[in-house]
Amino acid sequence: MKLGRGSDDARMLADSGQGVFPESWAGPWQAACKRIAEAGYGAAVYDAYRYNAPKIAELVGPQLAIGLADRVSLIAIKASCRAAEILPAVAARAAVRLNRDRGEYAAWLQLMERLAYLAPESTSMVLERMDQLLSRLDVSRLEAWLLAGVRSSGSDAQRRRAFFSFDDPEAARWLDHESGSLVFSDISDQLKAYMVALWGQPVPLRESNSITTGQGRRRAGFGPGIAFIPSTFPGFIGAQAEALFQAVVAHIGAHLQYSGNRFPVAELKPLQVALISLIEDARVEQLAMRDMPGLHRLWTPFHTARAAGAVTAPSLMARLSRALIDPAFKDDNPWVCKAKAMFYRRQQEWENPLISREIGGLIGNDLGQMRIQFNARTYVSEPAYRDDNLGLWDFGDQEQAETLETELLFDAVDIEKQEEDDAASPDREREEQLETEEADANRVSFSVEDEGGIPVARYPEYDYLTGRSRPEWTTLVEYAPPPGKASMIEQILETQADMVSRLQTLIRSARVSRPQKFYRQPEGEFLDLNASIEAMISRRVGEPPDTRVFGRTERRGRDLSVQVLLDISESTSDRVVGSNARILDLERQATALLAHAMAGLDDPFAIAAFCSNRREQVRYYRLKDFDKPYNSKAMANLAGLQSGYSTRLGAAMRHAAEALKRQQTHRRLLLVVTDGEPSDIDVTDSQYLVEDARHVVHLLAMEGIDVFCVGLDSGGDSYLTRIFGRRNVVQIDRLERLPEKLPMLYFRLTA
């Protein structure tokens, strides 16, 4: 096929290129066409290029249009012919979207080339969605989004495909994030503080798992002592989005403050459940506004229902919501009027949650008699700041209801209930039940594998390619350390008794504290005024004066807290080069000696260990906390350490630093003991975690935390130096070297 077209092509080329390519470019243009025609990617690729290249030439100049040919070839080879076929048309549209900016366009094209290397299987999918992507992202944001996809899937092509086809909800989440819509994680700290300030109790706020209800609308939710907030509210931007998040938090806080016990669902119909929830929403908001009248200004702007239009259940309910909160809102609908009157008549009883139940039940009957259809499946509470109200209801199975991942179960319950009401086909119902059972089974097996780990925090991770951090990228899971035998540590201390005392002497002599002034010194950097005057007086009186008339500033004592962070990844089970001991043993011994010395000197210190299993599970073990004594329990924890998994250093350091930040000492030291390069099984780019760790070290330095590394791998010099800085790394291959190297560390802190 390709061979047969040669001469025709030359003629057509001249036609399509005429007027677009200046004379001087005619040669290269024909050569480019010929190359593609003869490469064997198929006629479709060739046609697409030949058809679109002149357009591109018109938009961004002939050079870039001809250069496209190389990229088409490359993508055809690396990715697929399908991708190469759509590339030229996409490129033409991209040139328009990028305002004909040559630099931007070239950057975009280069990005597509990189994509073909990083995610060949997904290139065509990304290209197909390019219009949508470019409508929300500029090129650098697009790069960040593409990299988020690549990073989140590691080397797993299947997961990459899920991400780039938007099957993975993470894709939409990151698109929201990169497109600059206000994302929960951007203002989570602010919202947490807002919640505490308003209600006086710290309620953990979690990002809900991109649950979309009904027509893609998202709602917050809450459970006992916890709130779930959607990552974004599409359609709200800027200050309005921020106000919406605040409204959500204030509303959930009002529930937690005033809603009391859950209502039993029992025999209630979905319509009644929805109406009782609606009245309850209004009731808690009224109570909150009694205390904080300004909340009225926060909430009412989101009530936009109008007293007109079709009489459907959702519209009537939205109108009622507005009528109950907004006194200025007039609605003549008899049902709305009646419900509003009923609600305000009970003003004196608003403190009592049961009136919601009663009023909701009554107006539910009325609405039922009006024969207005209500579809629980598509119903979403309005306006957007209201939660899904599932937290108000007791669905009978208390234990399940209290699990944190409530949404899935509640959905299932909802559907089941509705199926009963609608008397739907039995098959359908069985399917739903099966799904629920499956979900349950997954949960159980998950928790067994978890050995009781508790996810405690999510941390950002820094991507050196984009120069930005991805928020909430890693999940830190804390595990109870498996206890070993404390006698093992005592044995180490006994055999190394002389080392312990040497270390103690070394640490004792370290002067890490705020400089203090010392007066009446025989020498020093300033005159001690009091001593000088006394000396003069003595001279006049005729006594021999005291010559100690100087003062100086000096550091004495040690005001230092130390957090030791041990890397216990799989590689620590290797033998130390030239020795029989395992690296983990060496870590354990060194830590035991250091801990014993520090405990003997009453220096505040903590010990933790970490390893990681993908970004979703950075495992963290607290062996000893700052406020706990170094006793047999801490020793048993240290003795019980086992090697396993990988080394996601940055996330662990972020978490270890949290405890350190709360210490009020003059200096704070994070002492990382590691054997190998940061790595994890979902990361293919070896530089990525190194750069992230380096970024953390910089951040901590800005917060006044010193990070120091003890390397147990003589080959690790280069990357450890890269992460921690040359002066902050010591290499130790034998325990005996510890006393030699440790003073360097303390020297660094005082220098």
Partner 1 sequence: MSLKDYLITDEPYYHATGREVAHFEAAYADRMPIMLKGPTGCGKTRFVEHMAWRLNKPLVSVACHEDMTASDLVGRYLLDADGTVWHDGPLTLAVRHGAICYLDEIVEARQDTTVVIHSLTDDRRMLPLEKKNEVLKAHPDFQMVISYNPGYQSVLKDLKESTKQRFGAVDFGYPALDVEARIIAHESGVDEKIAATLVKLAEKSRNLKGHGLDEGASTRMLIHVGQLINRGIPLAEACDIALVLPITDDHDIRKALTSAIAACT
The yes or no reply on residue 199 touching partner 1 (CB under 8 A) is yes
* Residue 383 φ/ψ, nearest 5 degrees: -75, -170
- CA atoms 143, 146, 151, 154: torsion sign: negative
Determine which residue in the list 31, 537, 577, 744 makes contact with partner 1, applying CB under 8 A. 537
Minimum CB distance to partner 1 smaller for 543 or for 717 = 543
Per CB under 8 A, which region of 141-149, 159-167, 287-295, 475-483 contacts partner 1?
287-295
Say if residue 202 is preceded by a cis peptide, omega within 30 of 0.
no
Q: For strands 468-479 and 454-463, give the pairing.
A: antiparallel
Per CB under 8 A, which region of 166-174, 188-196, 631-639, 702-710 contacts partner 1?
188-196
Determine which residue in the list 377, 428, 430, 517 makes contact with partner 1, applying CB under 8 A. 517
CA distance 91 to 56: 8
Q: How many CB atoms lie within 10 A of CB 255?
A: 22
Per CB under 8 A, which region of 311-319, 530-538, 587-595, 619-627 contacts partner 1?
530-538
Minimum CB distance to partner 1 smaller for 293 or for 426 = 293
The yes or no reply on residue 204 touching partner 1 (CB under 8 A) is no
Residues 553-572 binding partner 1 (CB under 8 A) are: 559
Least distance in angstroms from the C-beta of 387 to partner 1:
18
Q: Which of 8, 26, 9 is nearest to 17 (CA)?
A: 26
Minimum CB distance to partner 1 smaller for 531 or for 670 = 531
The yes or no reply on residue 187 touching partner 1 (CB under 8 A) is yes
The yes or no reply on residue 185 touching partner 1 (CB under 8 A) is no
The yes or no reply on residue 533 touching partner 1 (CB under 8 A) is yes
Per CB under 8 A, which region of 159-167, 184-192, 319-327, 624-632 contacts partner 1?
184-192
Helix (H) or strand (E) holding 327: none
Helix, strand, or coil (residue 180): coil
The yes or no reply on residue 527 touching partner 1 (CB under 8 A) is no
Q: What share of the chain is helix, strand, coil (3-state, %, to 5)?
A: 60, 15, 30
E strand segments, 209-342: 221-223, 226-229, 263-264
The yes or no reply on residue 518 touching partner 1 (CB under 8 A) is no
Q: Which of 98, 85, 23 is nearest to 59 (CA)?
A: 98
Structure tokens at 34: 């010929």
The yes or no reply on residue 511 touching partner 1 (CB under 8 A) is no
Least distance in angstroms from the C-beta of 476 to partner 1:
20
Determine which residue in the list 202, 235, 264, 629 makes contact with partner 1, applying CB under 8 A. 202
Least distance in angstroms from the C-beta of 95 to partner 1:
39
The yes or no reply on residue 194 touching partner 1 (CB under 8 A) is yes
The yes or no reply on residue 229 touching partner 1 (CB under 8 A) is no
Q: How many CB atoms lie within 10 A of CB 403?
A: 12
The yes or no reply on residue 292 touching partner 1 (CB under 8 A) is yes
The yes or no reply on residue 295 touching partner 1 (CB under 8 A) is yes
Q: CA–CA distance from 327 to each of 24, 348, 543, 671 (Å)?
A: 75, 17, 90, 61
CA distance 11 to 3: 15
Residues 411-470 binding partner 1 (CB under 8 A) are: none
Least distance in angstroms from the C-beta of 563 to partner 1:
17
Least distance in angstroms from the C-beta of 489 to partner 1:
28
Determine which residue in the list 4, 216, 294, 578 makes contact with partner 1, applying CB under 8 A. 294
Helix, strand, or coil (residue 609): strand
Residues 584-623 binding partner 1 (CB under 8 A) are: none
The yes or no reply on residue 250 touching partner 1 (CB under 8 A) is yes
Least distance in angstroms from the C-beta of 198 to partner 1:
5
Distance of CA 707 to the CA centre of its chain: 23
CA distance 57 to 718: 47
Per CB under 8 A, which region of 14-22, 105-113, 535-543, 742-750 contacts partner 1?
535-543
Helix, strand, or coil (residue 462): strand
Check: CB of residue 449 under 8 Å from CB of residue 637.
no
Residues 663-682 binding partner 1 (CB under 8 A) are: 664-666
Minimum CB distance to partner 1 smaller for 277 or for 665 = 665
Least distance in angstroms from the C-beta of 553 to partner 1:
11
Least distance in angstroms from the C-beta of 286 to partner 1:
14
Which residues, 6 or more positions from 750, have their beta carbon under 8 angstroms from its beta carbon? 510, 511, 512, 555
Minimum CB distance to partner 1 smaller for 159 or for 192 = 192
Least distance in angstroms from the C-beta of 517 to partner 1:
7
CA distance 597 to 503: 6
The yes or no reply on residue 190 touching partner 1 (CB under 8 A) is yes
Determine which residue in the list 189, 349, 450, 543 makes contact with partner 1, applying CB under 8 A. 189
Q: What angle do CA 31, 37, 42 make, to 5 degrees?
A: 160
Least distance in angstroms from the C-beta of 110 to partner 1:
36
Using the structure block, give the residue that is written with the tokens 């047999």: 632
Minimum CB distance to partner 1 smaller for 251 or for 588 = 251
Minimum CB distance to partner 1 smaller for 332 or for 602 = 602
Least distance in angstroms from the C-beta of 567 to partner 1:
30
Q: Which of 686, 592, 599 is nearest to 646 (CA)?
A: 686
CA distance 355 to 366: 17
Q: CA–CA distance from 499 to each of 25, 504, 631 (Å)?
A: 78, 8, 20
What radius of gyration, in Å, describes the C-alpha atoms of the chain? 34
Minimum CB distance to partner 1 smaller for 203 or for 439 = 203
Helix, strand, or coil (residue 467): coil
Minimum CB distance to partner 1 smaller for 370 or for 533 = 533
Q: What angle do CA 143, 147, 148 make, to 5 degrees?
A: 115
The yes or no reply on residue 193 touching partner 1 (CB under 8 A) is yes
| Binding-site ranges for partner 1 (CB under 8 A) | 187, 189-194, 196-200, 202, 246, 250, 291-295, 297-298, 517, 519, 530, 533-534, 536-537, 540, 559, 664-666
